[in-house]
Amino acid sequence: MNGWLGRMATWAACVLWLALPAAAQDGAGPTFGMPWLARVNYVVDGDSIWVRPEDGGARVRLRIDGVDAPEICQDFGPESRQALQKLALNQRVRVTVWARDRYGRAIATVVRLQGDVDVGEYMVSEGWAWTDGYGARLGKYWRAEAQARWAGRGLFAERWPETPADFRSRHGPCDAGKPKASK
């Protein structure tokens, strides 16, 4: 009986977790796993944006699922941000939130409605972000990254561009007073 109750409690906790709103830094958004429409109103860098839900409410900060873009103070960081601005700024998007990261951002799949463009896949395929694979696990957009590397697009024009994780471990987070890394 105790094992059954324990499993039920675990199941109930999972259901409640999934039903929680996708909170962001200045407001709560819709439920995890449920697509909703928004407009991109700010691009932070190559993998983070702010959106305003079309049905009203506070804006929501999103981390694009499946990608890791250069830090804004890293080589290719400004170019990555510009590519995302060109693709998504002021555009209507469909957002599906899957989780939250340690910084409070909602992690979401973002699709630009005009042309039905998966924003994460586009950023990787154009060479402005890496797919988010770890160790032996291939990332969500591994094919797009392989093609971008082969074609030498974006940051993959360099033979071994430094990943954001390596950059952060060497330099720490970007600060306004910190100089940009040299090429």
Known catalytic residues are 63, 71, 105
Contact between residue 40 and residue 91 where contact means Cβ atoms under 8 Å apart: yes
Alpha-carbon distance 68 to 51, whole Å? 19
Could you tell me the CA-to-CA distances from 38 to 21, 50, 58, 89 in Å, in that order?
A: 16, 10, 11, 11
Torsion of CA 49, 55, 57, 61, to 10 degrees: -10
Phi, psi values for residue 101, rounded to 5°: -90, 180
The rounded distance, in Å, linking the Cα atoms of 82 and 163 is 18
Question: Quick check: 85 and 112 in contact, CB under 8 A?
Answer: no
- The C-alpha atoms of residue 140 and residue 148 are separated, in whole angstroms, by 14
